[in-house]
């Protein structure tokens, strides 16, 4: 992991924390933002790389709400205590893939970088899954106090 850049992030209260290992340096990150109605209202800007690694930890599962917008294929991990969604996990592909909300990164200011805007709401499922396989983080680990290493799917938290 010598060629990776370590980026830490969290929701506002720290209930959801993550570390994103990016093969792309901070200065070269290009946040993406969807212009559909739901994404525009919550204002997320997302970064990811197929070769990146996401290790996320949830401290209090009872404060997590899995929110779905538009196509209902992805879960926005929302902390109910502070109402911040630090990352999104896709459920529609064989292996989980994710994007992190650049607004929740500790040492990165997405407003200082060029953001790529697109409206993904009308994208057909085949195209959407192909794009996610190429653009989203494909190495995802999600842990919580109630999930043990022997769990087959460590990213599958209890849905609230």
- Domain with residue 118: its CATH number is 2.170.150.70
Q: What is the count of structural domains for the chain?
A: 1
Q: What is the pLDDT of residue 70?
A: 65
What whole-number distance in Å separates Cα of residue 23 and Cα of residue 2?
Answer: 9
65 domain residue, yes or no:
yes
Chain centroid, CA 2 distance in Å: 23
CB 100 within 8 A of CB 56: no
* pLDDT digit string, tens, across residues 39-53: 778 788 999 999 999
The pTM score is 0.82
130 domain residue, yes or no:
yes
18 domain residue, yes or no:
yes
Structural domain including 23 reads 5-143
* pLDDT digit string, tens, across residues 79-114: 999 999 999 988 766 678 899 999 999 988 877 888
Q: Which helix (H) or strand (E) holds 40?
A: helix 37-42
DSSP type of residue 133: H
From residue 38, how far is each of 1, 82, 120, 123 by CA, in Å? 36, 19, 11, 15
């Amino acid at each position: 992991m010598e060629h990776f850049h370590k980026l830490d992030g969290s929701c506002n209260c720290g209930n959801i924390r993550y570390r994103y290992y990016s093969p792309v340096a901070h200065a070269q990150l290009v946040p993406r933002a969807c212009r559909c109605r739901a994404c525009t209202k919550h204002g997320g800007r997302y970064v990811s790389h197929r070769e990146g690694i996401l290790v996320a930890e949830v401290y209090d599962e009872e404060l997590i709400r899995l929110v779905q917008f538009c196509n209902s294929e992805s879960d926005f991990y929302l902390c109910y205590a502070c109402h911040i969604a630090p990352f999104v996990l896709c459920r529609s592909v064989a292996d989980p893939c994710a994007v992190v909300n650049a607004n929740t990164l500790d040492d990165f200011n997405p407003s200082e970088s060029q953001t790529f805007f697109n409206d993904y709401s009308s994208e057909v499922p085949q195209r959407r899954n192909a794009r996610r396989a190429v653009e989203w983080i494909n190495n995802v680990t999600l842990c919580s106090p109630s999930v043990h290493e022997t769990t087959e799917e460590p990213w599958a938290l209890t849905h609230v």
